[in-house]
């Protein structure tokens, strides 16, 4: 299909949007791909085992390959502008998700969840996150289309969040754990005993949540917090719901593998929080001024990539200086 499916003003003051809407078959294809990949991942990890570093690396590369392959589909089906928006959104979501991975590591450690059960918790956590993100994106995109001034509010919120991430606390995640467990205990009993990989067990004749379900609730609670940051950030580079949701979906589908790959490498990414904060500052400013000025998508992409590459290079130097390599 020709790239004329997307239209843009000559001065590029607006984002490209589908002239005739995204075809239904494209939504069906996206849904089938997501469900198929979730089913395949669940089948691969049907037995509880501790993933090795090599396994996590192979799976991470596989998930990234899937995300890039879908980007190729977007390019050939909808054109270069749509592809640029998708890749920008994918990189933003993927980079912000790294911070989420480190918070998961803190939560699992503090809640003493065995490594062999963590994939099961994260699988259902990702499943819930996909559903949550879809509704967040619909609400955000609808608000932006109906109330243009919301862009300024979202932009200022992202700028504020960017400063918070740059400051980054070592105990991040502890307050979330306490709040999440407190909410769960108000609803049902929570056992301190594991029952295999089951989320529920019978204790003293009553149905109770196991620590795995407690961890799942906390993971979902943290995703609400992260979604409030990441969804507006991706909406800063694209207003098309299909592109934004696809970028979110393919980025977070690989989070489980990324978690097992990076969870213990926090000290090696000393400047990562600075880069993530810088990305949010950048997209926040971009969104806040978008009613009057639209920065070219590929310029935005270059800035985001530069921040990430710079953070990796300087973090590696810092790690060597501190002897963490």
Chain segment 103-132, per-residue pLDDT in tens? 777 777 777 788 788 888 888 888 788 888
User: Is residue 276, in this structure, part of any structural domain at all?
Assistant: no
User: Is residue 287, in this structure, part of any structural domain at all?
Assistant: no
Q: Which of 200, 193, 211, 37 is nearest to 117 (CA)?
A: 211
User: Is residue 165, in this structure, part of any structural domain at all?
Assistant: no
Residue 90's pLDDT band (boundaries 50, 70, 90)?
A: very high
**Model confidence at 175: pLDDT above 70:** no
How far apart are the C-alpha atoms of 245 and 131, rounded to whole Å? 10
User: Is residue 193, in this structure, part of any structural domain at all?
Assistant: yes
Q: Give CA 65 to chain center in angstroms.
A: 16
Q: Which of 28, 244, 25, 48 is nearest to 130 (CA)?
A: 244
Query: For the chain, what is the domain count?
Result: 1
How far apart are the C-alpha atoms of 78 and 74, rounded to whole Å? 5
User: Is residue 225, in this structure, part of any structural domain at all?
Assistant: yes
Render the burial of 87-116: b for 16+ CB within 10 Å, e for the rest: bbbbbbbbbbbbbbbbbbbbbbeebebeee
pLDDT value at residue 30: 94
Residue 7's pLDDT band (boundaries 50, 70, 90)?
A: very low
Range of the domain at 50: 3-146+170-268
**Would the CA dihedral through 263, 100, 173, 120 be positive or negative?**
negative
CA-only gyration radius of the chain, Å: 20
User: Is residue 224, in this structure, part of any structural domain at all?
Assistant: yes
Question: Residue with structure tokens 């198929």?
Answer: 36
User: Is residue 175, in this structure, part of any structural domain at all?
Assistant: yes
User: Is residue 16, in this structure, part of any structural domain at all?
Assistant: yes
């Amino acid at each position: 299909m020709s790239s004329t499916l997307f239209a843009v003003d000559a001065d590029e003051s607006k984002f490209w949007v589908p002239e005739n809407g995204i075809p239904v078959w494209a939504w069906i294809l996206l849904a089938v791909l997501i469900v198929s990949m979730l089913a395949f991942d669940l089948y691969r990890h049907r037995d509880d085992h501790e993933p090795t570093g090599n396994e996590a690396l192979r799976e991470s590369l596989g998930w990234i390959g899937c995300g890039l392959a879908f980007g190729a589909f977007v390019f050939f089906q909808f054109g270069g502008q749509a592809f640029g928006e998708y890749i920008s959104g994918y990189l933003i979501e993927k980079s912000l998700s790294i911070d989420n991975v480190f918070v998961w590591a803190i939560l699992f450690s503090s809640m003493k969840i065995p490594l062999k059960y963590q994939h099961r918790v994260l699988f259902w956590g990702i499943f819930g996150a996909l559903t949550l993100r879809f509704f967040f994106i619909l609400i955000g995109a609808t608000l932006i289309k109906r109330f243009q001034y919301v862009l300024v509010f979202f932009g200022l919120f992202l700028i504020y969040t960017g400063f918070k991430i740059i400051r980054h606390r070592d105990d991040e995640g502890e307050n979330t754990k306490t709040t999440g467990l407190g909410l769960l205990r108000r609803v049902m009993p929570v056992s301190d005993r594991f029952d295999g990989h089951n989320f529920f067990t019978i204790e003293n004749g009553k149905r109770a949540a196991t620590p795995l379900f407690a961890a799942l609730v906390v993971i979902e609670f943290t995703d609400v917090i992260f979604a409030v940051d990441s969804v507006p950030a991706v909406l800063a580079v694209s207003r098309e719901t299909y592109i934004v949701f696809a970028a979110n979906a393919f980025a977070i589908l690989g989070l489980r593998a990324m978690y097992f790959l990076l969870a213990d490498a926090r000290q090696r990414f000393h400047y990562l929080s600075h880069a993530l904060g810088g990305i949010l500052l950048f997209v926040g400013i971009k969104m806040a001024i978008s009613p009057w000025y639209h920065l070219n998508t590929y310029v935005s992409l270059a800035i985001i990539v530069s921040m990430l590459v710079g953070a990796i290079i300087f973090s590696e130097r810092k790690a060597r200086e501190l002897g963490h390599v």
